[in-house]
Homo-oligomer: A and B are copies of this chain.
Amino acid sequence: MEKLQLTFFFLFLLIFPQIVFAQKQTVDLIVQNGTVVTMDGQRRVFENGSIAVSKGEIVGVGTFAEINRRYAAKQLINARGKAVIPGLVNTHTHIPMTLFRGIADDLDLQEWLTKYIFPAEAKNVDEAFVRAGTRLGLAELIKGGTTTYCDMYYFEDAIADETAKAGVRGVLGETIIDFPAPDNKTHEQALAYTERFVNKWKNHALIVPAYAPHAPYTVSQQHLGNIKSSADKLNAPVVIHVAETETEVNDIIKQKGARPIEYLDKIGFLSDRTIAAHVVFADENEIGILKKRGVGVAHNPQSNMKLASGVAPIPQMLAGNVSVGLGTDGAASNNDLNLWEEMDTAAKLHKLFSKDPKVVTAEQAFMMATIGGARALKLEKIIGSIETGKRADIAIVDLDGLHQTPTYNIYSHLVYATKASDVRHVVINGKIVMRDRVLLTLNENAIKKDANLYRERIIKSLSTN
Measured CB to CB, the residues of A under 8 A from B are 98-99, 101-109, 112, 136, 139-140, 143-144, 302, 304-311, 334-338, 341, 344-345, 347-349, 351-352, 354-359, 361-362, 400, 402-409, 412-413, 416-417, 419-421, 444, 447-448, 451-452, 454-455, 459
Least CB separation from A452: chain B residue: B406
Alpha-carbon distance A103/B409, docked complex (angstroms): 7
Q: 16 more A-B contacts (CB under 8 A) besides A106-B357, A305-B348, A305-B351?
A: A102-B413, A105-B409, A106-B358, A106-B412, A108-B358, A139-B402, A302-B348, A306-B348, A306-B357, A307-B357, A309-B352, A311-B352, A335-B412, A337-B403, A345-B345, A400-B448
- In the complex the two chains form, what is the Cα distance from A406 to B359 in whole Å? 37
Alpha-carbon distance between A101 and B358 when the two chains are bound, in angstroms: 17
Question: 5 interchain pairs (CB within 8 A)?
Answer: A106-B351, A334-B416, A402-B448, A405-B452, A419-B421
| Closest residue of B by beta carbon distance from A337 | B403
A335 near B416: Cβ-Cβ < 8 Å: yes
Given A306-B351, A400-B448, A403-B420: A357 touches B108 (CB 8 Å cut-off)? yes
B361 touches A106 (CB 8 A): yes
A415 to chain B, nearest CB (A): 8
At the interface, is chain A mostly helix, strand, loop or mixed? helix
Q: Which residue of B lies closest to A311 (CB)?
A: B352
A192 CB to closest chain B CB (Å) equals 34
**Complexed CA–CA distance, A351 and B108 (Å):** 10
Knowing A335-B417, A417-B335, A417-B336, say if A357 contacts B403 (CB, 8 Å): no
Q: In whole angstroms, how far apart are the Cα atoms of A334 and B198 in the complex?
A: 44
In contact, A351 and B412 (Cβ under 8 angstroms): no
With A143-B403, A357-B112, A459-B408 known as contacts, the answer to whether A362 contacts B448 (CB < 8 A) is no
Which residues of chain B come closer than 8 Å to A407, judged between CB atoms?
Answer: 102, 455
In the complex, which residues of chain B have a beta carbon less than 8 angstroms from the beta carbon of A304? 352
Decide if B419 touches A420 in the complex (CB within 8 Å).
yes
A402 to B452, CA, bound (A): 11
Pairwise interchain contact A354-B308, C-beta atoms closer than 8 A: yes
Q: How far is the CA of A107 from the CA of B344 in the complex (A)?
A: 16
State the CA gap A144–B112 with chains docked (Å).
31
